[in-house]
Amino acid sequence: MSASTQEVNRPAVHIAVQSFGFVIRRCAAAFLSWRERQRAAGHLMMLDDRMLKDIGIGRGEISAMVHGISGDRRRHHDIR
């Protein structure tokens, strides 16, 4: 392998290593974010229905709340 071929390959390898590191960091961040949402959902599930009502959510809304899914939050008892 000539010196010029090695010089051409080094930047390509460097870019590949940087890209791989970026993917690993993104995967780790996504996993940690997912784990934090799971933990929050678990804590909310431990609350009784009265406490959930006090903070303005129903048991069926816990998953949507921790995952940031918005929707029409008006419930039947809120309309009256």
Token pair recorded at residue 43: 């804590």
Residue 79 has pLDDT above 50, yes or no: no
In this prediction, residues 28-57 reach a mean pLDDT of 96
The confidence band for 56, taking pLDDT boundaries of 50, 70 and 90, is very high
- The model carries a pTM of 0.63
> Which residues constitute the domain of residue 8?
3-79
Residue 77 has pLDDT above 60, yes or no: no
The confidence band for 41, taking pLDDT boundaries of 50, 70 and 90, is very high
Q: Number of folded domains in the chain?
A: 1
In sequence order, what DSSP letters do the residues of 40-72 get, joined into one string? HHHHHHHS-HHHHHHTT--GGGHHHHHTT----
Q: Are 66 and 44 in contact (CB under 8 A)?
A: yes
Top pLDDT among 54 and 8 is at 54
Beta strands in the chain (DSSP E): none
Residue 64 DSSP code: H
